[in-house]
């Protein structure tokens, strides 16, 4: 896949407290899923009772927070939306196609390549990738793959969760580094704290060498975005850490992100994907678009931090955020 590691495991690596969150398909009553969909007149939605919607979440913090944001804004718009947690994309995407799930928060490049593999075979994402660092082009490719499957891709926003690299503040200041291009030009040997797969994945060591001319001296296999990896860079044992753009703990380790100025990473911008027949209405799109237009990468990192570091519930964190932005009625 284009992604460095599958999204679930990548985020799980970034958040060590994830072990407790491997929630399997939530018991949502097989038959009840189909009753009172948004397209029908039944359902006990608030306000005008527009019908019920099921929002799917993968079993990691960020997906759960996004699903809560979507469900709460839909409830505010008069639907009866509930969140169901499904372990991973391999399980929830077929449910979305069948209409058992109506709405899922997705990542443009990752879902595009997932559907590319489904349509064109498992080697397609490597041999004929459809995703790139260009969000608009990636979304267009995604739409072409999604529509024949009965899926509708809604507007994409600026919030992005993709691989990112950070260095210590001291290292950045000493060598005048703001971008990965700066690091390449500095001709410094760097050891990367990451997963051992970094050595061969095109978005890690090979990409850093080819796209930026960075002199990678080796990989320290301490994991993607783990506290151990960040500590190693803080201590100067390693110079560069692989994590994600929505990692809210980078600053607390005294680290700073280097901008991916040549767009090595694929555009994993957040966007809703919906079951076209049951949840393809302009009203649903308008409700979800409120979040898409406002949510930033920094917002997402902070929401993740509140759940993972402060042990807040995703539903509570989502509610406070939506109220603070005036997106739902208090």
Q: Residue 165: which of 267, 60, 252, 247 has the closest Cα?
A: 247
Rounded to whole angstroms, how far apart are CA atoms 149 and 16? Answer: 35
Rounded to whole angstroms, how far apart are CA atoms 244 and 129? Answer: 21
Residue 129 has pLDDT above 80, yes or no: yes
Rounded to whole angstroms, how far apart are CA atoms 94 and 83? Answer: 17
DSSP 269: B
Q: What is the pLDDT of residues 261-316, one digit of tens each?
A: 999 999 999 999 999 999 999 999 999 999 999 999 999 999 999 998 899 999 99
User: Per-residue confidence at 32, pLDDT binned at 50, 70, 90?
Assistant: very low
Instruction: Give the pLDDT of residue 330.
Output: 82
User: Per-residue confidence at 46, pLDDT binned at 50, 70, 90?
Assistant: very low
Q: What is the pLDDT of residues 130-175, one digit of tens each?
A: 999 999 999 999 999 999 999 999 999 999 999 999 999 999 999 9
**In contact, 116 and 1? CB cutoff 8 Å:** no
DSSP 156: -
Residue 23 has pLDDT above 70, yes or no: no
Taking each helix axis as running N to C, give the angle between helix 108-120 and helix 89-98, from 0 to 180 degrees, rounded to the nearest 10.
Answer: 80
Instruction: Give the per-residue SS3 of 70-83.
Output: HHHHHHHCCCEEEE
Alpha carbon 318 to chain centroid, angstroms: 16
Show the tokens assigned to 189. 């040997």
Show the tokens assigned to 193. 């704290």
Taking each helix axis as running N to C, give the angle between helix 297-308 and helix 314-324, from 0 to 180 degrees, rounded to the nearest 10.
Answer: 140
Rounded to whole angstroms, how far apart are CA atoms 330 and 322? Answer: 9
Cβ neighbours of residue 296 under 8 Å, at least 6 residues apart? 158, 159
The residue assigned the tokens 């700073």 is: 256
By the 10 Å C-beta count (0-12 exposed, 13-18 middle, 19+ buried), 285 is classed as middle
Instruction: Give the pLDDT of residue 306.
Output: 95
Show the tokens assigned to 55. 């929002």
Show the tokens assigned to 160. 């992005």
Q: What is the pLDDT of residues 178-208, one digit of tens each?
A: 999 999 999 999 999 999 999 998 999 999 9
Q: How large is the average pLDDT for residues 38-63?
A: 70
Q: What is the pLDDT of residues 56-104, one digit of tens each?
A: 999 999 999 999 999 999 999 999 999 999 988 999 999 999 999 999 9
Buried b (16+ CB within 10 A) or exposed e, 104-134: bbbbbbbbbbbbbbbeeeeebbeeebbbbbe
Q: How large is the average pLDDT for residues 27-50?
A: 40
Rounded to whole angstroms, how far apart are CA atoms 95 and 233? Answer: 41
Instruction: Give the pLDDT of residue 49.
Output: 74
Which range is least confidently modeled, 42-46, 189-193, 320-324?
42-46
Alpha carbon 94 to chain centroid, angstroms: 19
214: how many CB neighbours lie within 10 A of its CB? Answer: 26
Residue 121 has pLDDT above 50, yes or no: yes
Rounded to whole angstroms, how far apart are CA atoms 132 and 120? Answer: 17
Q: What is the pLDDT of residues 203-257, one digit of tens each?
A: 999 999 999 999 999 999 999 999 999 999 999 999 999 999 999 999 999 999 9
Q: Residue 273: which of 92, 122, 124 has the closest Cα?
A: 92
User: Per-residue confidence at 41, pLDDT binned at 50, 70, 90?
Assistant: very low
């Amino acid at each position: 896949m284009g992604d460095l590691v599958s999204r679930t495991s990548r985020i799980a690596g970034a958040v060590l407290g994830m072990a407790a969150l491997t929630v399997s398909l939530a018991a949502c009553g097989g038959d009840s899923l189909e009753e009172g969909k948004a397209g029908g007149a039944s359902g006990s939605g608030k306000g005008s009772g527009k019908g019920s919607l099921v929002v799917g979440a993968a079993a990691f913090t960020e997906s759960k927070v996004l699903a809560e944001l979507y469900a709460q804004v839909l409830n505010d718009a008069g639907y009866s939306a509930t969140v169901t947690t499904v372990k991973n994309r391999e399980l929830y995407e077929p449910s979305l196609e069948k209409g058992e799930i109506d709405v899922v928060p997705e990542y443009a490049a990752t879902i595009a390549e997932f559907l590319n593999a489904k349509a064109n075979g498992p080697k397609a994402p490597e041999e004929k990738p459809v995703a790139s660092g260009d969000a608009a082009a990636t979304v267009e490719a995604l739409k072409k793959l999604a529509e024949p499957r009965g899926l509708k891709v809604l507007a994409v926003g600026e919030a992005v969760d993709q691989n990112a690299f950070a260095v210590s503040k001291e290292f950045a200041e000493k060598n005048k580094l703001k971008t990965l291009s700066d690091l390449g030009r500095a001709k410094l040997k760097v050891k990367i704290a990451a997963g051992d797969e970094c050595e061969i994945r095109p978005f890690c060591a090979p990409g850093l060498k080819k796209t930026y001319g960075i002199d990678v001296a080796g990989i320290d296999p301490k994991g993607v975005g783990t506290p151990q990896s960040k500590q190693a860079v803080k201590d100067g044992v390693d110079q560069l850490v692989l994590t994600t753009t929505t990692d809210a703990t980078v600053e607390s380790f005294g680290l700073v992100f280097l901008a991916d100025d040549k767009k090595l990473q694929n555009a994993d911008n957040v966007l809703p994907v919906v079951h076209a027949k049951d949840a393809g209405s302009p009203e649903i799109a308008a409700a979800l678009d409120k979040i898409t237009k406002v949510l930033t990468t920094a917002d997402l990192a902070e929401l993740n931090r509140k759940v993972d570091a402060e042990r807040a519930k995703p539903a509570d964190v989502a509610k406070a955020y939506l109220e603070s932005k005036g997106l739902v009625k208090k």
